[in-house]
Structure 1
Amino acid sequence: MTTDHVIVTDVERADAATIGALAVHGVATVHEAMGRTGLVGPSLRPIQEGARIAGSAVTVLCWPGDNLMIHAAVEQCRPGDILVVTTASPSLDGSFGELFATALQHRGVLGLVTTGGVRDVVDLRAMGFHVWAGAVNAQGTVKVTAGSVNVPITVGGTIVRAGDIIVADDDGVLCVPRGDADAVLAASDARVEREAASRAAYQSGQLSLDRNNLRGVLADLGVRYIPQTEYDSV
């Protein structure tokens, strides 16, 4: 069924333990484990440092310069959720600030991901409400245009559906489709084990060139080792 403006309720979420485990792994590890997919791109940056979270997406589609649907979305949020906001066309207006964060934090929401702008960043940092945004912008917005809540949205070229898992840290923001959560966690666990073995090897002095069998790759690409004197004489 297709409708113009809807607020979808009772969205199914992934298992909390799975979400928590993905948060521990972080964006880079999960991204690699997913076959280097799922990133929303480098345009959304954190306003804080050192935060690493994961939660279920509550999606919001707003009109540019209008935050009416963020107000509507608050009611749909549960503990452990992350609000994910975009606009029907590009807009960096400051549609989110400390009052929204206060209401969401009361409901147990972990943070915000938005293609738009945020303001009151000093207050947001002080209260520990984590934000990844397209801009910091004091420009205010209106509340007059309908949009939708918990419908599929596009964030940086990645489709985010309500109930998908958002992983966010200093490296950026990643979307894990809810139906893939268990498989992605298993792949992430396996990658962490491989990295631990590599870390131990590097700490013992082994070179990544040898551990990853890259000398043959260099040779196949025509890369040669030559002494400095030969290089200088060319």
Structure 2
Amino acid sequence: MRNIVVTGPPRADQDLVRRLGELGTATVHEAQGRSGFLGPAFRPAWAGARRAGTAVTALCWPGDNTMIHVAVEQCQAGDLLVVATTSPSTDGLFGELFATALQTRGVRGVVLGCGVRDVAELRELGFPAWSTTVSAQGTVKATLGAVNVPIVLGGQRIRPGDAVVADDDGVVVVPRTEVPAVHRAAEARIAKEEATRAAFRAGELGLDRYGMRERLAAQGLEYVAWSDLDDPDNP
């Protein structure tokens, strides 16, 4: 691994990224063809946060948060710090002091492929963190890694400047160059869902709204009256 800090990477459009955050991870995930989801292992340290930002990436050694300190300097308003480790780690690489430094710079949150700690303090600060575990285990500052290089979390490749959307449903990454198209698709999906919501409120069934009846019948689904069953306890 090359120990480098890449400065000034291009970032996705902040206005579009902010809008993706308002639409939420489930909508964004569906809008880009059900891709980009980091998986259910990434959970918020505290419930209710909804954030989106442009990725600043940090690659650390397990149990060592040196490169998070280095990455803070590269972060700017609207970013979201994304941290991976060179091998699996459950140590608490990130806590309240880092959050304070990042919040001062306008950073919107952090995603960690390792542990987080100081959960109560993070909640008080209103600084959101998504991680694979919570751990009081501390770290050292001894080994170099890299900042603003491509990393992999949850099987997803994350590049500096990509859009990262996170909420109670998890974390989704959108490649920087695909943000405009995904935003358009997500907006269209929201409009379609609003029409469906109105139809459901008016009493329409999903069976009819989605044209499911013929397909289910073709698959062999039958409707049988209770009175026609020979043995109601064993249909």
Secondary structure of 1:69's counterpart equals: helix
Which residue number in structure 2 is paired with residue 128 of structure 1?
126
- Paired AA for residue 194 in structure 1: K
Write out aligned runs for 1:168-183 (5 A). Answer: 168-183=166-181
Amino acid at match of 1:71: H
Give 1:24 deviation, angstroms: 1.0
1:28 aligns to what?
A: 26
Using the alignment, how far apart are the partners of 1:216 and 1:59 within structure 2? 49
Equivalent position SS for 1:190: helix
Which residue of structure 1 lines up, in the alignment, with residue 223 of structure 2? 225
State the shift of 1:120 in Å. Answer: 0.8
| Cα distance in structure 1, aligned partners of 2:215 and 2:82 | 42
SS of equivalent residue, structure 1 residue 154: strand
The 1-side partners of 2:229 and 2:37 are apart by 42
Q: Which moved more, 1:11-20 or 1:205-214?
A: 11-20
In 2, distance between residues paired with 1:95 and 1:166?
20
Question: 2: distance between equivalents of 1:230 and 1:36?
Answer: 43
TM-superposed CA distance for 1:60, in Å, is 0.8
Distance 2:78 2:197 in 1: 32
SS across alignment from 2:129: strand
Q: What whole-Å deviation, never above 9, does each CA across 1:173-209 have from its counterpart, x for those lacking one?
A: 0000000000000000100010011011000000010
CA shift in 2, pair 1:222/1:88, >3 Å: same
RMSD: 1.0
Aligned length: 232
Shift of 1:230: 3.6
In the alignment, structure 1 residue 95 sits paired with structure 2 residue 93? yes
Matches within 5 A, 1:43-192: 43-192=41-190
> d(CA) in 1 for partners of 2:142 and 2:154?
25
List runs of 5+ in structure 1 lacking aligned partners. none
In the aligned structure 2, how far is the partner of 1:56 from the partner of 1:231?
60
Change in Cα spacing, 1:33 to 1:231, as seen in structure 2 (3 Å) is farther
Quote the sequence identity (%): 56
Paired residue for 1:200? 198
Unmatched segments (≥5 aa) in structure 2? none
1:103 and 1:213 mapped to 2: Cα distance?
A: 53
Residues 231 and 37 from structure 1, CA distance in 2 versus in 1: closer, same or farther, beyond 3 angstroms? Answer: farther
* 1:17-70, Cα deviation, whole Å (9 max, x unpaired): 111111110000111111110100000100112111110000111101111000
Flag the 1:232–1:149 CA change in 2: closer, same or farther, 3 A: farther
SS of residue in 2 equivalent to 1:173: strand
Q: Secondary structure at the match of 2:172?
A: strand
User: How many angstroms does 1:229 deviate by?
Assistant: 3.3
